């Protein structure tokens, strides 16, 4: 019997601030498979996340199959808009939710992980990061600043993380990000440059798979997940309609569950997937395969 066994593996999931999104589901799936899991959390959400954990508000979501609770090895502050602390503007450095966190940049995260665990101590990195300040605007009304912000956090941050974290990884390590079908098809309402950012993320996945594969012996893949009505996705404004539309027009008509993405992520991060790199793996109930919407409701039997 083949089992996903990540015993002895160390994972970092960047982009976890609650229990509702793909990042948390992936972290839980990795822990179920035996990995030690650390997370990176956006500084403005860090205290809220820590309070939820300390007060037991997330205990039900953290329950593993064994009955134990998902434990995070470390929780790091992370704002993926900044490669180094010197890149952060003064107003960010002085902000209440930032100034007490220490170095919250990508470089700061890498340095902290090296100090905590040393080189050759990391096996899995999950990039569950995306942000577009103008996501509700159509592309024609998106500003240059809004467009570049979407590209910066949602796509370039993967490049920066591979550059800084790959040297800490053991051979055979895995990077995995999350993309969306808007990278290749028009999704009205998914604006602000996010479609462009996802297209860049997928292109970078292929190039990084080659460059980091040759240099570090690691794999780089991305999951194209269907829409999920998470708290973070509520910023899009039409996420409920997206979920409903996909469910009505997919080969499998149940809405996507976060744990379904988590399980695929655990597989792609495991030794069972050593032959897969540079790939976009769809986890969307088959919606990507459809060429025309259904005019009538799907049959019930």
Tell me the mean pLDDT in the region 9-26: 96
Scored b (16 or more CB within 10 A) or e, 24-54 reads bbbbbbbbbbebbbbbbbbbebbeebeebbe
Average pLDDT, the chain: 93
Q: Mapping DSSP to helix (H, G, I), strand (E, B) and coil, where does residue 223 land? A: strand
- DSSP letter assigned to residue 193: T
Gap between the Cα atoms of 30 and 164, Å rounded? 22
Residues linked to residue 14 through DSSP beta bridges, in sequence order: 40, 127
The CATH class of 10-285 is alpha beta
Q: For 43-92, how does the pLDDT look when each residue is reduced to its tens digit (9 = 90+)?
A: 999 999 999 999 999 999 999 999 999 999 999 999 999 999 999 999 99
Tell me the mean pLDDT in the region 216-233: 86
Q: For 108-161, how does the pLDDT look when each residue is reduced to its tens digit (9 = 90+)?
A: 999 999 999 999 999 999 999 999 999 999 999 999 999 999 999 999 999 999
Q: The tokens 């039409």 sit on which residue?
A: 238
Residue 247: count other Cβ atoms within 10 Å of its Cβ. Answer: 18
Gap between the Cα atoms of 205 and 211, Å rounded? 10
Q: Mapping DSSP to helix (H, G, I), strand (E, B) and coil, where does residue 187 land? A: coil
Q: For residues 254 and 285, is the Cβ–Cβ distance under 8 A?
A: yes
Report, as residue numbers or ranges, the catalytic residues: 180, 190
Give me the pLDDT at residue 239, please.
75
Q: For residues 175 and 208, is the Cβ–Cβ distance under 8 A?
A: yes
Gap between the Cα atoms of 172 and 56, Å rounded? 36
Q: Model's pTM, two decimal places?
A: 0.93
Q: For 196-217, how does the pLDDT look when each residue is reduced to its tens digit (9 = 90+)?
A: 999 999 999 999 999 999 999 9
Give me the pLDDT at residue 2, please.
84
Give me the pLDDT at residue 243, please.
82
Token code pair at residue 270: 């495991």
Gap between the Cα atoms of 277 and 174, Å rounded? 9
Give me the pLDDT at residue 237, please.
61
Q: The tokens 């309070």 sit on which residue?
A: 51
Give me the pLDDT at residue 227, please.
86
Gap between the Cα atoms of 170 and 10, Å rounded? 10
Give me the pLDDT at residue 242, please.
81
Gap between the Cα atoms of 176 and 13, Å rounded? 9
Give me the pLDDT at residue 240, please.
79
């Amino acid at each position: 019997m083949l089992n996903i066994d990540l015993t002895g593996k160390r994972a970092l999931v960047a982009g976890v601030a609650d229990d509702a999104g793909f990042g948390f589901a992936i972290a839980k799936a990795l822990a179920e498979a035996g990995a030690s899991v650390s997370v990176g959390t956006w500084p403005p959400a860090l205290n809220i996340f820590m309070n939820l954990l300390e007060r037991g508000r997330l205990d039900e979501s953290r329950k593993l199959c064994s009955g134990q609770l998902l434990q995070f090895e470390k929780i790091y502050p992370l704002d993926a808009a900044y490669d180094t602390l010197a890149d952060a503007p003064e107003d960010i450095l002085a902000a209440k939710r930032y100034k007490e966190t220490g170095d919250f940049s990508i470089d700061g995260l890498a340095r902290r992980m090296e100090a905590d665990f040393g080189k050759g101590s990391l096996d899995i990195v999950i990039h569950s990061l995306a942000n577009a300040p103008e996501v509700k605007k159509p592309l024609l009304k998106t500003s240059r600043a809004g467009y570049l912000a979407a590209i910066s956090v949602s796509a370039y941050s993967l490049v920066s993380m591979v550059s800084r974290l790959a040297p800490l990884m053991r051979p055979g390590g895995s990077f995995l990000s999350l993309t969306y079908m808007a990278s290749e098809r028009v999704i009205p309402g998914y604006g602000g440059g996010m479609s462009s950012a996802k297209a860049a993320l997928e292109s970078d996945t292929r190039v990084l798979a080659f460059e980091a594969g040759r240099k570090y012996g690691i794999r780089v893949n991305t999951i194209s997940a269907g829409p999920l009505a998470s708290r973070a996705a509520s910023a899009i404004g039409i996420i409920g309609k997206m979920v409903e539309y996909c469910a009505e027009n997919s080969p499998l008509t149940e809405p996507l569950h976060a744990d379904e993405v988590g399980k695929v992520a655990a597989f792609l991060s495991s030794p069972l997937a050593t032959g897969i790199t540079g790939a976009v793996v769809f986890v969307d109930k088959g919606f990507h395969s459809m060429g025309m919407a259904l005019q009538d409701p799907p049959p019930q039997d």
